[in-house]
Structure 1
Amino acid sequence: MAPTAGGTDGTHEADGADGTDRAGERLEEARALLAAHPVFDGHNDLPWALRTQVRYDLDRRDIARDQSAHLHTDLPRLRAGGVGAQFWSVYVPTDLAGDAAVSACLEQIDAVRLLAGRYPDDLRLARTADEAVAVRAEGRIASLMGAEGGHCIANSLATLRALYRLGVRYLTLTHNDNTDWADSATDTSRHGGLTRFGEEVVREMNRLGMLVDLSHVAPDTMRDALRVSAAPVLFSHSSARAVCDHPRNVPDDVLERLPANGGVAMATFVPKFVLPAAVAWSDAADEHLRAHGLHPLDGGERAQEVRRAYEAAHPRPAATAATVADHLDHMREVAGIDHIGVGGDFDGTPFTPSGLDDVSGYPNLVAELLDRHWSEADLARLTWHNAVRVLRDAEAVARAEQARRGPSTATIEQLDG
């Protein structure tokens, strides 16, 4: 993979006057930094990709070997990318509801456990910040879980608690559609943010120590959650709306509130969320998939073939590592260095930026930021320390809340009926 460190167009910095390869030096510096301060990534959809491609048959997708023909993620490339901890998304599409959504979420959790059990020398489940730090110190990749889409709790706080006991450490309040208690960024507003039951979901997550993930939610839902949450919130895979005006990104007024809350916004790499020119192209590509009877989020082989054919006929605007760095520059300026991270969304998007083609690409992003004069201390916060801190702070809030009150027995019928 060619490094993309250099100017804001993602090209290589010119060789120095003495003939040195400055881009190559930056890349080596980036790799050394990640060896000391690895990536704690907020969102990876490998479990869903394994479900759609091979129905979790790990013999057919043995990630101990190079799977670049099929996936963005495998163990050799995670190691090459300097990943020390990963939130694996236990995603459920919104066309599943009720018991079907809960069952699919449980199957996704089981898939993460299968991965950790099959590859114990590389992956180990972690439930707390201290466990994540310990796993990384052992030379393994700490594996945590985040449930993407509040519909997977089927309007049940008891189900929420069960997911926590199974190891889920964040819940994304919505996916692309509204839930019965929260508005999504990509649906028509129905609640004006969070309903009373939605607020109770946030409070119960605080009591458990489960991070409130605000990626995918509408701006009013973000603001309501920040008002209600006693614990730091998370944006597991969202970039800056001021840089790319897409509803999946975070407005500046919300970024400005993160320091008071203690939360972290983790920039995503999805081209249509980071590059304005890619938005219209992605919409057209999605319509092309629908015309072939396929869902835009389909990760199956047929969907990949249709995407490749469309891209061959209609070259897509190319995001780069520098495009993502533009978002991080802005997010650092608005929210502050202690409140940003990275959430690549690998295997949850069909297209990736040049230089961030897969999970081995993180050194290219770090090299780009080094060229922009980010310090080692700031990069260490970005890649590792902020994510660990927000998890640890949520655990501290949970201890205080559990000393003060017991589990909520509220229902959506009681609060919103």
Structure 2
Amino acid sequence: MSVVDAALRAMPVIDGHNDLPLALRARTGYRVTGLRERPELQTDLSRLRAGGVGGQFWSVYVPSDLSEPDAVVATMEQVDAVYRLTAEYPEELAIAYSARDVERALSAGRIASLIGIEGGHSLASSLGVLRSFARLGVRYVTLTHNDNTSWADSATDRPGVGGLNDEGRAIVAEMQRIGVLVDLSHVAETTMRAALAVATAPVIFSHSSARQLTGHSRNVPDDVLVRLRDNGGVCMVAFAPPFVSGQVAEWLAAATEQWQRLGLPPAKDEWTRAPRPGEHLPSSLPAAPATSAFGLPGVPADAPEPFRAWLTAHPRPEATIAQVADHVDHVRAVTGIDHVGLGGDYDGCDRQPIGLEDVSGYPRLLNELGQRGWSQADLEKLTGRNILRVLQAAEDAADEILWPRSPAG
């Protein structure tokens, strides 16, 4: 048995971020049937198994430009989709509220399904909404998405409150009081530092890579990684090509500049409405316009002719497994082996690195790391032991546990 096979048998992958609920909303109106094989998606049950995935934080993302009341409703619909998904495949999936629930699901050969809210706008600045989501099993909240909230600054918006204001610090404190992980992916550097300054329990980056290797605003600077180590948290390295490849990041910047030079309107991800009561949607909806998560069309055919001509002359470069491994290695070098994990961001990007095109690719990444000298014990920490430790630490530090307890818990 290879080192990779042994590591995955001992500790399957617990991935920090997957946008399947959003993809189901866009493509099937939240219909959860037929997911054993869905080749048009980056995630299905067969490929999760092939990839050695034993736990998944399902992202319940809604756009940050929705009004906050609308965002709360839409996030509830996303949470409902996760519950319906696990109910449809009870032999494959199990809702997990705690570290012990994850271990119990792994022992039963099921994929532990955890829930993470991607953006503090989904809380509508309400601690009551936060606590209600915690009772439904939400285990992390990303403080912002691409836009600021009134209390926290995003990495991709203009500075608003200088990181966190008093309201933001109170939200972070309440999250840690009830054992909900603070997720610092998507937030500004100032917000990262402000949250770490007040954190009393480990925090996470659910899907971010290393700023030292790729100068993208969504990545984590080394000084923040050092503070994350001291906090006891974990950085779950994202696979998104602009985060791991300088060439892709440079191409994206050039494409954005060309788009603006042509005077074209800003491209935005399509937010497909949810089905209304009594409405019967077709089994498959047209895919939403292929705008990437980075604000540009992901499919040339959907772009205006002048921009398609530019794309033909400037083909998009590809990211590689080796580049992802470089980011994993770098986070390990800065933080130590106990503070690195994986957050693939599948079905949240229009394409992924070569060899990591879908959720079956994790073993190929682990094989690359194994060839670089990672031991079985090292790989087990990366795949799941580190994030399980952080989950347990958050529970241990909580004053009040709100999510449902399993009968044996």
Coarse TM-score class (shorter-chain normalised): 0.7 to 0.9
Structure 1 position 248 matched with structure 2 position 218: yes
Identity, % of aligned positions: 53
In the alignment, residue 287 of structure 2 is paired with which amino acid? Answer: E
CA distance in 2, matches of 1:382, 1:101: 33
CA distance in 1, matches of 2:393, 2:331: 21
Corresponding position of 1:44: 18
Which of 304, 307, 325 aligns to 2:290? It is 304
The answer on whether the counterparts of 2:4 and 2:367 sit within 8 Å (CA) in structure 1 is: yes
Q: 1:297 to 1:185 in 2, by over 3 A?
A: farther
The answer on whether the counterparts of 2:179 and 2:400 sit within 8 Å (CA) in structure 1 is: no
Corresponding position of 2:355: 355
Listed as ranges, the matches of 1:2-401 within 5 Å are 29-59=3-33, 62-65=34-37, 67-68=38-39, 70-283=40-253, 291=264, 294-296=267-269, 301-304=287-290, 307-309=298-300, 313=312, 314-398=314-398, 401=399
Moved more, 48-57 or 213-222: 48-57
Q: Secondary structure at the match of 1:86?
A: strand
The answer on whether the counterparts of 1:83 and 1:141 sit within 8 Å (CA) in structure 2 is: yes
CA apart distance, 1:330: 0.8
CA apart distance, 1:36: 1.9
Q: Secondary structure at the match of 2:140?
A: strand
In the alignment, residue 334 of structure 1 is paired with which amino acid? Answer: V
The answer on whether the counterparts of 1:294 and 1:303 sit within 8 Å (CA) in structure 2 is: no
Moved more, 103-112 or 295-304: 295-304
The answer on whether the counterparts of 2:3 and 2:375 sit within 8 Å (CA) in structure 1 is: no
CA distance in 2, matches of 1:138, 1:297: 38
CA apart distance, 1:281: 2.4
CA distance in 1, matches of 2:74, 2:255: 27
Q: How many residues align?
A: 372
Q: Secondary structure at the match of 2:62?
A: coil
Q: 1:181 to 1:223 in 2, by over 3 A?
A: same
Question: 1:239-298 CA deviation, whole Å, 9 max, x = no partner?
Answer: 000000000000000001122211000000000011011113234556769948752577
In the alignment, residue 385 of structure 2 is paired with which amino acid? Answer: H
TM-score (norm 2): 0.86
Q: Secondary structure at the match of 1:316?
A: coil
Q: Secondary structure at the match of 2:121?
A: helix
Query: Which 5+ residue runs of structure 2 have no aligned equivalent?
Result: 273-285, 292-296, 302-307, 403-409
The answer on whether the counterparts of 1:97 and 1:152 sit within 8 Å (CA) in structure 2 is: no
CA distance in 1, matches of 2:400, 2:319: 45
Q: Secondary structure at the match of 1:379?
A: helix
CA distance in 2, matches of 1:133, 1:285: 45
CA distance in 2, matches of 1:33, 1:243: 27
In the alignment, residue 270 of structure 1 is paired with which amino acid? Answer: A
CA distance in 1, matches of 2:128, 2:68: 14
The answer on whether the counterparts of 1:285 and 1:307 sit within 8 Å (CA) in structure 2 is: no
The answer on whether the counterparts of 1:297 and 1:348 sit within 8 Å (CA) in structure 2 is: no
TM-score (norm 1): 0.85
Q: 1:297 to 1:211 in 2, by over 3 A?
A: farther
Q: 1:190 to 1:149 in 2, by over 3 A?
A: same
After superposition, the CA RMSD in angstroms is: 2.2
CA apart distance, 1:309: 2.9
Q: 1:297 to 1:365 in 2, by over 3 A?
A: farther
CA apart distance, 1:397: 0.4
Q: 1:57 to 1:157 in 2, by over 3 A?
A: same
CA distance in 1, matches of 2:241, 2:367: 19
The answer on whether the counterparts of 1:297 and 1:349 sit within 8 Å (CA) in structure 2 is: no
Q: Secondary structure at the match of 2:14?
A: strand
CA apart distance, 1:402: 3.9
The answer on whether the counterparts of 2:146 and 2:157 sit within 8 Å (CA) in structure 1 is: yes
CA distance in 1, matches of 2:220, 2:298: 28
In the alignment, residue 120 of structure 1 is paired with which amino acid? Answer: P
In the alignment, residue 299 of structure 2 is paired with which amino acid? Answer: R
CA apart distance, 1:31: 3.2
Q: 1:293 to 1:254 in 2, by over 3 A?
A: closer
